Amino acid sequence: MVIAAFALIVFLTVASLVTDLGLRYYQKSRLQNAMDAAALASVTSLPDKARAKTVALDYVQKNGFSTDDVIIEFPQEGVIRVRDTFECQTLFSGLFSRDKMRIEAHAAAKYIKKNMSIDFDYLMFHGADITFNLNGDLREVAGAIFANGSIRVGTNDAAIIDTIVAARNVVFCNNMGTRPSVVEHAATQEIPDWDEMIMSIAPTAQKEQFTDPHPHLSPNASYAYVYNGDTNLQNVIAFSNGSVLCRGSLSTGYNSTALLYVRGNLYVKNNFTPQCPVYVSGDLYVGGELNPGWGMGISVGGNAYVGGKASFSGPAAIGGELYTGGDLSLNNGSATYSFGKVHCMGNFSSTTAWGAQVTVNGTTYVYGKLTLGGGGRNILKGDVFVWGNNCTANDEVCLINGYMNLHGDVWCARGKVAFGGNGDCEIHGFLYSGGSIETRSGGDISLNGCMIAEGNINIGGASHTYNDDGATLSLYSRHGNVNLGSQGSALNMWGIVYAPKGDIKISTNGLHMYGSLVANTITCNIGSGFYIGKNDRTLPFAKTVRAAALVE
């Protein structure tokens, strides 16, 4: 009995200790959760400190604690700290003169802004669970490399790499002067899903149903001059007192020194074939085809509507919109072409007009192919929409084969978008292709924006420069590959190269990349001088997340 009595005392002592320690842990967890909730909820009210205090105390009460002993501090700008202590009744420790326990907890929170694309943790991310072979003349990776498989490093001995992280192992096949920090057997990671973020800025189709812009130009309207059938104006006439109506086809005799002048609107029910320069101060309506003679210029102060194809073999200036129900052809390489806006239901081409100056001051809509030639300068001041009707997936649906200055966005439904080749290109906008995108040799290509393709993106052949302060270029192949294969003097990029379902192939000389290469696989056949570092420029699709985070 004596032994049992002593054993009971020991048992009660241990039981009280275990029970009250468990109670302390439980109450400490409750209080810590209350402090965390109060800090996270109240930080959203900063910089209004009075409001933040009110919210913090409210959340302390919601979690079942008194606010009498709560201390709220602001240790630094944008940070709130919530601290509380309370005493709880013990269950058994009172037998040993310990009837209360003092419990304390605190939490601090602040707002953290993180850019989902700029603040990505890795400069090179190889998503597939296979070996990532890092070969070639790599100079420096000023950040971390990650691969879900093994990493085999076979770059030159002078290469500098900050950190290598691999899900399996890292093998060095050279004698690098400075070995990077290596993390092996890391946890595998999913390729980041940036699709929604990037596609939020992608150009989208704006296929508008064309409405005849000249409803007032009808055969039943009142005209100062009327021709009831097919008419050939052998003697060039100046119609200076009003509009002209021809209920058939209209042509003129050949006279390059004279002028067909209409002070008003000109309506031609069928075809219009002028063999002399034409000036119309108002609108031009041609129900059939428009086919001026070689070298003969045409100038329209308003809009021009052509029901069939339009073929310009001399200079053309349309102050308003040009609509063609068929193909639009620019054929004279020594001519200047200027349109306010283009809406072409067929193909729009200037490939036979080498050296022509082509300017579109508004939006360009082409439901067939768009092919602009080189030698001159193509200036597109508005957006470009190309549908590629009756084209295959491999057709060059949007081809700018020469000098180009583009200040709008490009949307192409299918086929290939290609530019460069015979002149410098300057692009300030976003490009989307339902097929592929390709740059070609022949001149410098200065890009500022984002190129998005459902298929492959091939950056090749040209010298690419991005000299504007703040200019960025991001490449996103949704379902294909990205080839960085420029053979020019340098390829400098600030942005993201992203091929989550394909391969990024690096085979260029002088690539300086400021940003991240993220792909299912990365193939390195690196030319001379490859450098990759952190991007410090704002990307157009960059999504910044502002969230409350605990800092204590």
Residue 309 within a domain: yes
- Name the band, by pLDDT with cuts 50, 70 and 90, for residue 26: confident
Query: What does the alpha-carbon distance between residue 356 and residue 379 come to, in Å, rounded to a whole number?
Result: 11
Q: For residue 47, is the peptide bond before it cis, meaning its omega torsion is within 30 degrees of 0? A: yes
Same domain? For 337 and 486 the reply is: yes
Q: Among the three residues 141, 170, 190, which one is the final residue of a domain in this structure?
A: 190
Residue 202 in any domain: the answer is no
Q: Which of 7-21, 275-289, 327-341, 443-457 has the lowest mean pLDDT?
A: 7-21
109 and 129 together in one domain: no
37 and 141 housed in the same domain: no
pLDDT in tens, 216-263: 566 667 789 999 999 998 877 889 889 999 999 999 988 777 889 999
Residue 278, in any domain of the structure: no
Same-domain pairing of 20 and 147:
no
H/E element holding 39?
helix 2-42
Decide if 242 is inside a domain: no
pLDDT of residue 373: 80
Is the domain of 497 the same as that of 466? Answer: yes
Asked if 132 and 111 touch (Cβ cutoff 8 Å), the reply is no
Question: Could you tell me the residue range of the domain that residue 74 belongs to?
Answer: 2-115
> CB-hemisphere CA count at 13 Å for 417?
26
- Tell me how many domains the chain contains: 3
Helices H / strands E in the chain, number of each: 3, 46
- What is the C-alpha separation between 550 and 552, in angstroms, rounded? 6
Q: Which residue has the higher pLDDT, 213 or 540?
A: 540
Give me the pLDDT at residue 403, please: 80
Query: pLDDT tens for residues 446-491?
Result: 778 889 999 999 987 655 655 567 788 889 999 999 998 765 556 7
Is residue 476 domain-shared with residue 457, that is, in the same domain?
Answer: yes
Whether residue 199 lies inside any domain: the answer is no
Q: Is residue 259, in this structure, part of any structural domain at all?
A: no
User: Would you call 57 helix, strand, or coil by DSSP?
Assistant: helix
Looking at residue 347, its amino acid is N
pLDDT at 426: 80
pTM of the model: 0.76
Across 79-96, average pLDDT: 73
State which of 75, 94, 115 marks the end of a domain.
115
Decide if 216 is inside a domain.
no
pLDDT at position 102 is 80
pLDDT of residue 207: 57
The torsion defined by the Cα of 340, 346, 351 and 354, in degrees rounded to 10, comes to -30
Residues 499 and 401 in one domain: yes
Query: Exposed, middle or buried: residue 380 (CB in 10 Å: 0-12, 13-18, 19+)?
Result: buried
- Same-domain status, 405 and 291: yes
Same domain, 58 and 173: no
Given 190, 214, 236, the domain boundary residue is 190
Whether 111 and 70 share a structural domain: yes
For residue 76, tell me if it sits in a domain: yes
Average pLDDT over every residue of 83-96: 68
Are residues 15 and 156 part of one domain? Answer: no
* CA dihedral sign of residues 215, 221, 223, 225: positive
* Residues 400 and 503 grouped into a single domain: yes
Of 11-20, 183-192, 262-271, the least confident: 11-20
